[in-house]
Amino acid sequence: MPPQESNATPPVVEIREMDFAYGDKIALHQIQLAVEKHRVTALIGPSGCGKSTLLRCINRMNDRVPSARIARGAVLVKGKNIHDPDVDLTQLRKQVGMVFQKSNPFPKTIYENVAYGLRVHGEKDGQILDAAVEHALRQAALWDELKDRLNDHALGLSGGQQQRLCIARAIATHPDVLLMDEPCSALDPIATLKIEELIHQLAHDYTVIIVTHNMQQAVRVSHYTAFLHLGKLIEFGETEHMFNKPREKLTESYLRGTFS
């Protein structure tokens, strides 16, 4: 895979020759992907091609589906196979945070939403929690908007604010990787723009993998793009290059909207 071989930084996420199945149906075939540190990687492709499945492989979210399994290959995060018996799932989910399509704040205060992950990991010191909540809200570009409303109920926020709150909640525990599955699909253009700006900023500190159906969004936010089709990784490369000069005919027809 071209851009990665020449890169000196080891991949944060590496998917090696992975087949993934729901029951006896293979949903992902021979996926080989290395995700570069502090870069945004977009996963694109038609509905049902396996984007969400691939994303959920990275923090073992698919474990919740009884029939789901890796049939072949491995997923490594910072060089560690995430299916090794000594991997602690809570720790993995801390290391690999996730933001979903539909914002899902807990029915708690704004403060408690952001503090949640830290509390789960045993943090009780009020000053440390206060500082961490402020830091995460600042990183999510919400602090100025919400600093006087920390004890308000999170469900009273707008959709865009709720989604940024979910991002703040995900980054409060300092994950290495942030997975985002169509994080803007329920938002209006202004809220979408805010999240896109935020993703840019987050890439300074985090490795972001984002699923999007919006081609322009992939161009705006990502450094690398992976194009999937029918469970196969058809093409992977620098976003600018892929959108200007795709290597594969299938990628080209998808990007041009002439896909049949």
Q: How many CB atoms lie within 10 A of CB 234?
A: 18
120: contact with ligand ATP by CB under 6 A: no
Taking CB under 6 A as the criterion, the residue among 29, 39, 51, 169 binding ligand ATP is 51
Binding ligand ATP (rule: CB under 6 A), the pick from 6, 47, 127, 258 is 47
Give the range of 46-54, 78-86, 159-167, 245-253 binding ligand ATP by CB under 6 A. 46-54
Examine residue 131 and tell whether it contacts ligand ATP (CB under 6 A).
no
Shortest spacing between CB 198 and ligand ATP, in angstroms: 22
Quote the DSSP letter at residue 173: T
| β-pairing verdict for 96-99 and 207-211 | unpaired
SS3 165: helix
Out of 49, 75, 154, 165, which residue is the one contacting ligand ATP (CB under 6 A)?
A: 49
- Which of 2, 7, 10, 65 contacts ligand ATP by CB under 6 A? 65
**30-38, 42-50, 153-161, 244-252 -> range binding ligand ATP (CB under 6 A):** 42-50
Q: Residue 249 is encoded by which pair of tokens?
A: 């005919």
* Sheet with 96-99, edge to edge strand ranges: 80-81, 68-77, 13-22, 25-35, 232-238, 224-229, 40-44, 207-211, 177-181, 96-99
62 binds Mg ion (CB under 5 A): no
Locate 105 and state its tokens. 């704040």
Q: Tell me if 50 contacts ligand ATP by CB under 6 A.
A: yes
Q: Binding residue for Mg ion (CB under 5 A) from 13, 14, 42, 52?
A: 52
Which residue type occupies 23? G
Cβ at position 35, least distance to ligand ATP in Å: 17
- 81 to 30, 66, 91: CA distances (angstroms): 17, 20, 13
Q: Return the number of the residue (100 or 143) whose C-beta is nearest Mg ion.
A: 100
